[in-house]
Structure 1
Amino acid sequence: MSYQTITSDITDDKAVIRLNRPDKYNALNGLMRAELADAVRKAATDARVIVLTGNGPAFCSGQDLSDSGSLDNPDLERVLRDEYQPLVRAIVEAPVPVIAAVNGAAAGAGANIALSCDVVIATESAYFLQAFSKIALMPDAGGTYWLPRSVGSPKAMGAALFAEKISARDADAWGMIWEAVPDEEFEARWTARADYLAKGPTLAFGQIKETIRQSWSNGLDAQLDIEGRSQNVCGQSRDFKEGVLAFIEKRPARFEGR
């Protein structure tokens, strides 16, 4: 499918979706939000890993303020419900791993869309910014959910209140992201990570995503029950049998995915 604000390419079971408004630092307008959600949903059925990244110097600078509509009583709840939430849910509910390859600034909703992905890999020159309070708003697009769960309440509160840039190195040290890598190694690193996931046990990856996220609202007993059910699903797969045989035969496993 042809898109106007993004590109989407699927090769070797790997979907690479690029935000493509570089002259606007990949700011999110209504069309981009709809196209991203559509592309993620389609890629989730056609690929075994999804990568979100940006064209140009920024990953995503957040909401395109020129696309916000009237400043006189804007219905931001509707925008979040109808446009942002479907995108966040498409990422979270995808049955395959989703990588955010943060190639530059990730600000506002752009930062929180990145944090909604399963793995965040950032170039060391990138940064994350909860810019909302600068315009008298609060974090949205899942920010109040992801931040305290990744860095704890004190860091999350400071990031939201002070709206200061968080370097990729600091984000890595805080546990906000998976890794920050030198700029010259960035493309090769996320590509290698995506290739690894694209060749892996896709069903097990999906169970990992779902089960870890369910743990945030479960007690131990409920989580142990979920682990048992999810592990049984994995154990019925051909990939499990292949993994065991490969281990016994001392060879690389050849996983089929779903």
Structure 2
Amino acid sequence: MSEPSILVQRRAGYRVVTLNRPDRLNAFNDAMHEALRAAIDEAEADEDCRAVLLTGAGRAFCSGQDLNDRLLKPGEKPVPRESLEKYYNPLVRRLHALPFPVVAAVNGVAAGAGANIALACDIVIAARSASFTQSFARIGLIPDSGGTYILPRLIGEARARALMLTAEPVPAEQAADWGMIWRCVDDDQLIPEAIALCEQFAIAPTQGLALIKRALDASATNTLDQQLNLERDLQREAVMSPDYAEGVRAFMEKRKPNFRGRKAE
């Protein structure tokens, strides 16, 4: 029997989800998309899950779409694929909408849609040997999976435009310097750092973190007045959470809070 294309480890308060097609540099095919969607569904349905760590097996995070699924036979005409509408776009939307943080631990090559899926996560930590490549131009395609939206907002239009037109790779250290990712760490520290972050989120006020995600997502298109109003409305929600009351009590009592997380919703 072949190995599953997605591996899931259930840990206290969070899950580790590993893209597991190392022989194909964890490139996506339809079966892997379906398995990843199921893993995310299960994590969201489990109120004890308060974070997800997404990483890749072997020497890559994800090299994007498996082009073996796109090879044309001699004389065959290309047909527009529905994979963006069916798989990639829902995945990016889902990562943004999940009611808890998603941490990407980029352990090697992140190329094409693989790079943009990593950047769609809430926090990106990369191994020093990792790299990010908008490789679409090499085969005559445009960046997808949110790349033309997310990347300019992270590093500015000038850098994003050049990376997309030239398809040059960005080493992890440079990505961190540019603000493309949160942190670059030594290879042997990647998973320990990512796990420590998820363990922090596993005892955090999850409902408040979900509201932070909502506020940040809306800020990209809101006016200042719209964003101020949204902050007001979301803060009202946050104040009504049992975790806010627990946070205040713990502060006054000079102790660590015991947040209920998603059970507080």
TM-score range, shorter chain: over 0.9
**1:157-184 CA distances to partner (integer Å, 9 max, x unpaired)?**
0110110110000110111111111112
**Structure 2 residue identity aligned to 1:45:** A
Matched, 1:205 2:209: yes
Deviates more, 1:243-252 or 1:13-22: 243-252
> Counterpart of 2:57?
55
Q: What is the deviation of 1:41?
A: 2.5
1:181 is matched with which residue: 185, 188, 206?
A: 185
Q: What is the deviation of 1:69?
A: 5.5
> Counterpart of 1:95?
99
Q: Distance in 2 between matches of 1:223 and 1:132?
A: 34
1:1-258 matches, within 5 Å, as: 4-46=4-46, 47-68=49-70, 70=72, 72-76=77-81, 78-258=82-262
SS of corresponding position for 1:185:
helix
**1:191-238 CA distances to partner (integer Å, 9 max, x unpaired)?**
100100111000001000011110101001111111011011110111
**Structure 1 residue identity aligned to 2:208:** A
Q: Distance in 1 between matches of 2:42 and 2:239?
A: 27
Structure 1 outlier segments of 4+, above 3 Å: none
**1:99-137 CA distances to partner (integer Å, 9 max, x unpaired)?**
111111100000000011011011111000000101111
Instruction: Answer whether contact 1:239 1:257 (CA < 8 A) is retained.
Output: yes
Question: How many aligned residue pairs are there?
Answer: 255
Q: Distance in 2 between matches of 1:210 and 1:30?
A: 29
SS of corresponding position for 2:99:
coil
Q: Distance in 1 between matches of 2:192 and 2:28?
A: 27
SS of corresponding position for 2:261:
coil
Which 5+ residue runs of structure 1 have no aligned equivalent?
none
Give the structure-1-normalised TM-score: 0.96
RMSD (CA atoms):
1.2
**Structure 2 residue identity aligned to 1:48:** R
Of all paired residues, the percent bearing the same amino acid is 45
SS of corresponding position for 1:137:
coil
Instruction: Answer whether contact 1:123 1:183 (CA < 8 A) is retained.
Output: yes
Q: Distance in 1 between matches of 2:144 and 2:244?
A: 39
Q: Distance in 2 between matches of 1:5 and 1:181?
A: 26
Q: What is the deviation of 1:4?
A: 2.7
Which 5+ residue runs of structure 2 have no aligned equivalent?
none
Q: Distance in 2 between matches of 1:249 and 1:123?
A: 40
SS of corresponding position for 1:199:
coil
Q: What is the deviation of 1:9?
A: 2.1
SS of corresponding position for 1:217:
coil
Q: Distance in 2 between matches of 1:202 and 1:26?
A: 30
Q: Distance in 2 between matches of 1:127 and 1:159?
A: 12
